[in-house]
Amino acid sequence: MAFINLQNVTYKYPLTKTPVLQNINLQINEGEFVAVIGPNGAGKSTLCYTLAGFVPHFFKGEISGTVEVAGMESSKSTLDEWVLNVGLAFQNPFNQISGAKYTVFEEIAFGLENTGVPRDEMKTRVEEALKLTDISNLADRSPYSLSGGQQQRVALTSILVMQPKLLVLDEPTSQMDPIGTREVFGVIRKMAEDGMTVVMVEHKVEWIANFADRVIALKDGQILLEGKPSEVLTSDVLAENGFGISRYTSTAREAKKQGLWKKENLPVTLDEAVEGFSNW
C-alpha cells in the first residue's frame, strides 16, 4: 500500500462556504519527492495541512474521505501522534521561530526536547542537522537576528532534525536567493534518496524540473494534472489555467508555432532550452 493515500478527500474550513479541497485522490510512495504547484487560493497550503494532520485536528471544519500516512489514519489519530511522523515547515519563517529559545542551536533542539530525546543524542542530532543545511555558523546567533532566508533554513532544520518519515514543505524557499534555493533543493533531494518522503509546494518550476520526481498541479481544490515534471510543467493545460510556467517553456511554445522548436517536448530549464535550440 502507498505511503500516503488520500481517498476522495473533501474539506471545508469552518468559515468557507464551498469546499477548499474537492475529491482529492492521491497516492505517494515512500521516498518520493513530490512538488505541488497551483495559483493563489488553489488549496496548496490546505493540502499541506491535511497531510500534516492540522486539517482537521487543528482547523476543525468538515472533512470527508480517508487520509492515511505512514500507516496511520487521520480520523483515528491525534495530532501529537501524527507530528511524530510528519514534519511541516511553511512559508513565513518568522512565525515558525518558537519564541522560547535564545540561540539557533536551542531553537533547533526545541522539537527534540518536546519529544523526549535524550540530551547526548539531541546534541549530536542538532549538530548533524546544522551541518546538513549548512548553518553551523549561525548556531549561537539569536534566531530573531537572522535574515528571512536564514530563518527559513532554521525553520527547515528544526523540522529535519526530528527525522520525520514525511516532510511537508509549504514554499520553504520563498525568501531565499538562488544559491540558497539550490542548496535547499539539494538537501531535500538527498533526504528523499535516503528514504524520506517529501511533499513540497513550490513556485520555482525550473527547480522542480531538476529535482522532483512528480508534480501535482492543483486548481480550485482539485488535482488538474499529475505526472512527471517534464510532462506536467510543459502541458498546455497549465498555461491556459493561469499557472506560473517557465519562461523557457513559453518561449519554446511560441517558437514551436513558428517552426523554430523542432523537438517533440517543450523545455522547462535553461539547459533543456539551450540543448533544444542548438540541435536543430
Partner 1 sequence: MHERLSFYIKRNSVIHHLNPLTKLTLVLALILIAFTSPWYWTPHLLVLIAIIPLSFLGKVAPEFFKTALRLILPAAGFLFLMQAFFQPVGETVIFKFYFLDMTQESLMFAFRNATRVIVMVSAFTFLLLTTHPSELMSDLTRRGLPGQFAYVIISTLQILPQMQAKAQTIISAQRSRGLDTESSFIRRMGSLTPLIGPLVFGSLAEVEERAIAIEARGFTSKKVKTSLHEIPDPSSDKLIRWVLIILVIISIALKLWLS
Which residue, 45 or 96, has its beta carbon nearer to Mg ion?
Answer: 45
The conformation of residue 34, written as its DSSP 8-state character, comes to E
Which residue, 40 or 279, has its beta carbon nearer to ligand ATP?
Answer: 40
Contact flag: residue 16 with partner 1 (CB under 8 A) = no
Contact flag: residue 54 with partner 1 (CB under 8 A) = yes
Q: How far is the CB of 14 from ligand ATP (least distance, A)?
A: 7
Q: How far is the CB of 111 from partner 1 (least distance, A)?
A: 3
Exposed (0-12), middle (13-18) or buried (19+): which is 80, by Cβ within 10 Å?
Answer: exposed
Site for ligand ATP in 17-46 (CB under 6 A): 20, 38, 40-46
Is the dihedral angle over the CA atoms 89, 93, 94, 99 positive or is it negative?
positive
46 touches, from partner 1, Mg ion, ligand ATP, none (C-beta below 5 to 8 Å by class) = ligand ATP
Alpha-carbon radius of gyration of the chain: 20
Full DSSP string of 229-272:
HHHHTT-HHHHHTT----HHHHHHHHHHHTT---SSSPP-SHHH
Contact flag: residue 178 with ligand ATP (CB under 6 A) = no
Among 106, 127, 220, 226, binds partner 1 (CB under 8 A): 106
Among 8, 27, 75, 95, binds partner 1 (CB under 8 A): 95
252 touches, from Mg ion, partner 1, ligand ATP, none (C-beta below 5 to 8 Å by class) = none
Task: Tell me the three cell numbers of residue 207.
Answer: 527547480
| Residue (of 209, 251, 255) closest to 233 by Cα position | 209
User: Which of the stretches 128-136, 141-149, 205-213, 223-231 binds partner 1 when contact is defined by CB under 8 A?
Assistant: 141-149
Among 2, 70, 72, 84, binds partner 1 (CB under 8 A): 84
User: Quick one: how far is CA 103 from the chain centroid?
Assistant: 26
Which residue, 26 or 167, has its beta carbon nearer to partner 1?
Answer: 167
How far apart, in whole angstroms, are the C-alpha atoms of residue 110 and residue 187? 21
SS3 label, residue 23:
strand
Contact flag: residue 45 with Mg ion (CB under 5 A) = yes
Q: How far is the CB of 223 from ligand ATP (least distance, A)?
A: 13
Per-residue binding string, partner 1, 149-188, x by CB under 8 A, is ------x--xx--x--------------------------
Torsion of CA 91, 92, 98, 101, to 10 degrees: 110
Residue entry with cell 549561525: 138
Phi, psi of 55 (to 5 degrees): -100, 120
Give residues in contact with partner 1 (CB under 8 A): 49, 52, 54, 58, 79-80, 83-84, 87-90, 92, 94-102, 105-106, 109-119, 122-123, 126, 141-142, 144-145, 155, 158-159, 162
